[in-house]
């Protein structure tokens, strides 16, 4: 009985609806931070003062990166988690679930790597200047993190689109690009 309950929980948290909800929440949380970083660079280009300081941007960027890493690991692990659940509760449409697992794994790896790259960048900036002076690279690294973040959002929204398609279209039409 307990094992069946655990299987139900695993199926629930790895369902396409739950994954859509997770991606939506992370996007909702991260989007204002992305706008702040973008605003920082617009102010830099126009030589006006920014409301946001570099340390605040580093903390915010590291926060987004951590969210991306966590989501990437979860997406990548969907296959493993569902296989555990399917031992007790076989899926209704195994072929569709396999395609969703493959999509989740591929996009999960991309989101994970992007989050790790962003974390590496923020950690590089966080090195005390008495050890390595990184002041000259802060804007460049934050710009790269902004670019990586935007690419990750595009990937996540593409994945969301594919999840939504999987509800309405034939499973043969659900494919990777």
> How is the chain split into domains, by residue range?
17-172
Burial class (CB in 10 A: 0-12, 13-18, 19+), 66: middle
The answer to whether residue 115 scores a pLDDT higher than 90 is yes
Residue 53 or 25, more confident: 25
Residue 75 has pLDDT above 60, yes or no: yes
Residue with tokens 């935007």: 150
Supply the pTM of this predicted model: 0.84
Q: Average pLDDT in the 94-101 region?
A: 84
Q: Above 70 in pLDDT, residue 20?
A: yes
Report pLDDT for 167: 80
């Amino acid at each position: 009985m307990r094992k069946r309950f655990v299987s139900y929980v695993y199926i629930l948290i790895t369902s396409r609806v739950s994954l859509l909800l997770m991606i939506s929440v992370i996007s909702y949380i991260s989007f204002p931070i992305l706008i702040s970083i973008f605003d920082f660079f617009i102010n830099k280009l126009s030589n006006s003062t920014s409301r946001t300081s570099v340390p605040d941007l580093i903390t915010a960027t590291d926060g987004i990166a951590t969210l991306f890493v966590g989501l990437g690991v979860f997406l990548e692990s969907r296959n493993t988690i569902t296989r555990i659940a399917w031992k007790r509760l076989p899926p209704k449409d195994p072929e569709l679930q396999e395609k969703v697992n493959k999509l989740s794994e591929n996009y999960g790896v991309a989101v994970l790597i992007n989050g790790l790259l962003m974390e590496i960048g923020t950690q590089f900036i966080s090195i005390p200047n008495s050890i390595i002076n990184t002041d000259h690279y802060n804007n460049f690294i934050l710009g790269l993190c902004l670019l990586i973040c935007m690419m990750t959002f595009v990937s996540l929204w593409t994945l969301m689109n594919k999840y939504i398609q999987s509800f309405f279209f034939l499973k043969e039409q659900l494919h990777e690009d």
